Structure 1
Amino acid sequence: MAAQVISISNHKGGVGKTTSVVNLGAGLHQLGKRVLMIDMDPQANLSQSLGIFEPEKSVYTMLRGFCKIEEAMQELELDLQLIPSELDLSGAELELSMEAGREFILKDHINKVKDNFDFILIDCPPSLGLLTINAFTASNQVFFPLQAQFLATQGLKKLLEVIEKVKQRLNQDLEIGGVFITQFDKRKILNRNVKDAIEKHFGDTLFKTVIRENVALAEAPSKQTNIFKYNPKSNGALDYWGLAQEVLERTTVNA
């Protein structure tokens, strides 16, 4: 069966998007799934969190047609791969803007390896430009990480509008696969109130698993690894393990 392709997106920064790609990917891999992570952000935080700096071949060289997708992939572990990013990707939107079918470039590459993976997770940039459109066009689902803070849902309206347009014009299979809360502290009244509001707004779309505020999640990237290797007994590891199980359940039910 071809991979579930999931974009993890929120154009509000600091919501735990990259942290979620790293650790959800690692969690699904620990559950026995073949996982490919794609860093579509020119800031390359996902790549650097996993110890890859200044790659010779990257998502940029792939999108520009300078290498094949198989050449851009780097094996982190058996059945866990990453296509890294680099700063040059920031110029890709302009460079690709005149290409015919420019919204489908990533999808065309992914289709060549889709059968080799169970999950392909795309770390989207914090913008709604051509790179994000490429990610959405290639995906079955979009997941939104949301902070349990007052402004969490601000700006989501625009993101949902873009998803609807992509669904209508470019990818009729695209669905909002789920929303999950990050950086949650149950001791804070504001966090609890915002969580209640998010639950009312998103209903069944909201994952039951909540990612708690956890210092180990912030520390793991400095060791260039995921939370399960850095501190497997931490709340961060427990929460992303729960999220990975829930994602697997949902995608199995909807397959």
Structure 2
Amino acid sequence: MTTHQSGLISGTRQGKPRVLVLANQKGGVGKTTTAINLGTALAAIGEKVLIIDLDPQGNASTGLGIDRKSRRVSTYHVLNGEAPLSEAVIETIVPRLFVAPSTLDLLGIELEIAGERDRAHRLRSAIDALMAQPDEDPFTYVLIDCPPSLNLLTINALTAADSVLVPLQCEFFALEGLSQLLKTVEQVRSTLNPRLGIQGVVLTMFDPRNNLSGQVVADVRQFMGNKVYETMIPRNVRVSEAPSHGKPVLLYDLKCAGSQAYLKLASEIIQRERALKAA
């Protein structure tokens, strides 16, 4: 596969992908790490995945090996209407995994489109336009990585999504941040996107040696019930090292505990999606 080719959308389209937004207004919870590695794990088990990087820091793009020079068309150009999403989509080093990268230009997008009537629907319209194009091998999952704040970028992501995947670090204030996010999701559902739901909560940076981690897990499971995934992402040095090499951890060290956890999480998510369809 040739890396970083653009213009990849062709053929005859079948079906509609599941659009999942990874959101948490709290930083440092493993949101971008989960976007990169969940996307890689889904691709590894046969799905065709698009990661949309909506964080101006662009860490998801960097963690997938996309250098700044390759980001000639970014999610900034998509949201301000300069380019369709198809022109931003580029290949990653992972087969069947693609990314629409971001740049620091996104920092100014809120001011640029604040006065537009469709300001909250820009991303949804862009995804719909992309999926309306014919494609013999369509995307089956779209993962949206948001900034760690509840701003217009996050509102665009929530408006475009089918459901929300919440990465939650096993630390003291975890539930406090979760409550705020759930209120935002409810507001978006009642005003902008009635189909929006919670796909699940994934507990990250779990350390079985830490009593606090165990208590947080118990509290979150009591609060959210079966919305919490069985799979927990352990605190793992290989997961932390991988982004500096521009690789998902599954390419950096497939056998490490973090890689195995993300593969299990991908399987669990697919099982939940099948259960939703069957219901």
Normalised-by-shorter TM-score class: over 0.9
Of 187, 197, 200 in structure 2, the residue corresponding to residue 178 of structure 1 is: 200
| Structure 1 Cα separation of the partners of residues 37 and 265 of structure 2 | 9
Of 44, 47, 58 in structure 2, the residue corresponding to residue 44 of structure 1 is: 58
| Structure 2 Cα separation of the partners of residues 91 and 25 of structure 1 | 27
| Aligned-residue offset at 1:162 | 1.2
In structure 2, the partner of 1:226 is 248
Would you say 1:138 and 2:154 are equivalent positions?
Answer: no
| Aligned-residue offset at 1:199 | 0.9
In structure 1, the partner of 2:236 is 214
> Given residue 117 of structure 1, which amino acid in structure 2 is its aligned partner?
F
Of 148, 152, 176 in structure 1, the residue corresponding to residue 174 of structure 2 is: 152
Would you say 1:3 and 2:25 are equivalent positions?
Answer: no
- Name the SS of the counterpart of 1:26 in structure 2: helix
Structure-2-length-normalised TM-score: 0.89
| Structure 2 Cα separation of the partners of residues 14 and 162 of structure 1 | 20
In structure 2, the partner of 1:57 is 73
Question: Any idea what the Cα deviations from partners look like across 1:51-94, whole Å, max 9, x if unmatched?
Answer: 22331110001111111111100111443110000001000011
| Aligned-residue offset at 1:112 | 1.9
Of 33, 39, 51 in structure 1, the residue corresponding to residue 47 of structure 2 is: 33
Question: Any idea what the Cα deviations from partners look like across 1:130-186, whole Å, max 9, x if unmatched?
Answer: 100000000000011111111112222221111111101111000011001000011
- Name the SS of the counterpart of 2:202 in structure 1: strand
| Structure 1 Cα separation of the partners of residues 276 and 247 of structure 2 | 31
After TM superposition, what 4+ stretches of structure 1 lie above 6 angstroms from structure 2? none
| Structure 1 Cα separation of the partners of residues 65 and 128 of structure 2 | 27
1:156-167 aligned at under 5 Å gives the runs 156-167=178-189
**Structure 1, gaps ≥5 residues long:** none
Percent of paired sites with the same residue: 42
In structure 2, the partner of 1:202 is 224
Aligned residue pair count:
255
RMSD across aligned positions (CA): 1.0
In structure 1, the partner of 2:86 is 70
More deviation in 52-61 or 117-126?
A: 52-61
| Aligned-residue offset at 1:28 | 0.4
| Aligned-residue offset at 1:99 | 1.2
> Given residue 133 of structure 1, which amino acid in structure 2 is its aligned partner?
I
Of 4, 7, 15 in structure 1, the residue corresponding to residue 29 of structure 2 is: 15
| Aligned-residue offset at 1:228 | 1.1
| Aligned-residue offset at 1:193 | 1.1
> Given residue 75 of structure 1, which amino acid in structure 2 is its aligned partner?
E
| Structure 2 Cα separation of the partners of residues 21 and 31 of structure 1 | 16
Question: Any idea what the Cα deviations from partners look like across 1:197-252, whole Å, max 9, x if unmatched?
Answer: 11111100000000001000001101101111100000001100000000011011
| Structure 2 Cα separation of the partners of residues 248 and 136 of structure 1 | 20
> Given residue 103 of structure 2, which amino acid in structure 1 is its aligned partner?
E
> Given residue 249 of structure 1, which amino acid in structure 2 is its aligned partner?
Q
> Given residue 148 of structure 1, which amino acid in structure 2 is its aligned partner?
C
| Structure 1 Cα separation of the partners of residues 150 and 131 of structure 2 | 24
Would you say 1:117 and 2:133 are equivalent positions?
Answer: no
- Name the SS of the counterpart of 1:51 in structure 2: coil
> Given residue 174 of structure 2, which amino acid in structure 1 is its aligned partner?
A
> Given residue 105 of structure 1, which amino acid in structure 2 is its aligned partner?
R
- Name the SS of the counterpart of 1:7 in structure 2: strand
Structure-1-length-normalised TM-score: 0.97
